[in-house]
Amino acid sequence: MGSFLSKKEFPVEGRTILITGGSRGLGLAAACQLAAKGANVAIGARDSEVLKEALAQVEKSACSPTQRFFSLTADVTKADECSRVIAEVTAWNDDSPPDIVWCCSGSAHPTLFVDTPVEQLQTMMDSNYFSSAYMAHATLNAWLRPAIDGTVKKTEHKSLQARHIIFTGSFVSLYSFAGFTPYSPSKAAIRSLSDSLSQEMNLYAGAHPDEPRVRVHTVFPATMPTKSLDDENRVKTDVTKALEEGDQILSPDECARRAIAGLERGEELVATSTIIRLVMTTVMGGAIRGGFWTGLVNTLLSWIVMIVMVFIRWDMDVKVRNWGKKHGASGKLSE
């Protein structure tokens, strides 16, 4: 239940979608599923060879021979690269900016804070937060600047279907724990950016009612068995792995399916697992609840889950303290 009335809030057939980080994992799975729904899809990533293989997979997912697909290499941790990406996709898309932009690029370096080189803290913000913020900035300027400057043409828009920016958060956007300190602030910042932009877009909706509305979303994926997870586990401490025991694992395809279903329901904050949904109810703040009934359910759930979270936090604190007593401060199992 994403809105008061049940209707499809995320139509993609015939529309153009840009996905950064689209060469693997959630980004690639989403690109394939959106292509299967009739979207024209552009994907971006750093590795040109991996990108080439990914584009072939996306093309095979198409449901119509009239669909178009595009790929480009880019380092979206740089603002000028994000502007270039939007410009190139716009040129490819008959001089029209993409209708939907999904920021899927990012990385994780889950280590203990005091053991993390300070350079890695900046890398995490660049890879996760700034890659999303820069892409959103370039996208919104492409969408909104013509109306602000009074240069938009009345014939430019075929319809007033909403445009969408989609960020990719994490469970630790909502609740972090020992060993994710370098990573979780960058994902929490994305959640804050999403909430702020969601309200800010009302300014432009009010000032320019004849222009397409801009919707802002954040998807919170469950843990996925990908190369990125393998990379994380190589640096992750044993104490963090112990705290993660019982974590729900979803394939990228299933995670993308749940994310897209949430977008189609009109959800602004999209949980892809039960545990993420429950924890999210306790930290929604001023976020859009998604209509009366969904808001009521989330509120009732939050009263219960907030009590449970008190005990979960206590239990995790005890586990970490006892780990230190038994194994020392390295976070690793003692020999």
Q: Could you say which of 187, 204, 319, 326 is catalytic? A: 187
pLDDT per residue over 145-161, tens digit each?
999 998 876 555 556 89
Q: Which residues have C-beta within 8 Å of that of residue 234, sequence separation ≥ 6?
A: none
Residue-level pLDDT at 254: 98
Whether residue 97 contacts residue 139, with contact meaning beta carbons closer than 8 Å, is answered with yes
Buried-exposed string 59-85: b where 16+ CB fall within 10 A, e elsewhere: eebbeeeebebbbbbbbbbeeebbbbb
Q: Would the pLDDT of 265 be above 70?
A: yes
Task: Give one DSSP letter per residue of 168-183, joined into a string.
Answer: E--GGGT---TT-TTT
Whether residue 92 contacts residue 42, with contact meaning beta carbons closer than 8 Å, is answered with yes
pLDDT per residue over 217-251, tens digit each?
999 999 999 989 999 999 999 999 999 998 889 99
Residue-level pLDDT at 298: 83
Residue-level pLDDT at 158: 53
Question: Sign (positive/negative) of CA torsion 138, 287, 169, 259?
Answer: negative
Whether residue 185 contacts residue 108, with contact meaning beta carbons closer than 8 Å, is answered with no
Residue-level pLDDT at 6: 46
Whether residue 10 contacts residue 264, with contact meaning beta carbons closer than 8 Å, is answered with yes
Q: Please confirm, yes or no, whether 183 is among the known catalytic residues.
A: yes
Nearest to 178 by CA among 263, 129, 111: 111
What average pLDDT does this structure show over 48-62?
97
Residue-level pLDDT at 3: 44
pLDDT per residue over 207-222, tens digit each?
999 999 999 999 999 9
Edge-to-edge order in the sheet of strand 40-45: 69-73, 40-45, 16-20, 100-103, 163-168, 214-220, 269-271
Q: Would the pLDDT of 2 be above 50?
A: no
Q: Which of 4-8, 76-80, 261-265, 327-331 has the lowest mean pLDDT?
A: 4-8
Residue-level pLDDT at 4: 42
Whether residue 263 contacts residue 37, with contact meaning beta carbons closer than 8 Å, is answered with no
What average pLDDT does this structure show over 156-175?
88
Q: Please confirm, yes or no, whether 187 is among the known catalytic residues.
A: yes
% of the chain at pLDDT higher than 90:
86
Please name the amino acid found at residue 88.
Answer: E
pLDDT per residue over 266-315, tens digit each?
999 999 999 999 999 999 887 777 777 777 888 888 999 999 999 999 99
pLDDT per residue over 81-136, tens digit each?
999 999 999 999 999 999 999 999 999 999 999 999 999 999 999 999 999 999 99
The pTM of this model reads 0.93
First to last CA, the chain: 51
Q: Could you say which of 134, 183, 204, 236 is catalytic? A: 183
CA separation for the pair 76, 83 (Å, rounded): 9
Q: How many CB atoms lie within 10 A of CB 272?
A: 23
Residue-level pLDDT at 308: 95
pLDDT per residue over 56-76, tens digit each?
999 999 999 999 999 999 999
Query: In the CATH scheme, what architecture does the domain 16-327 have?
Result: 3-Layer(aba) Sandwich (3.40)
What average pLDDT does this structure show over 173-191?
97
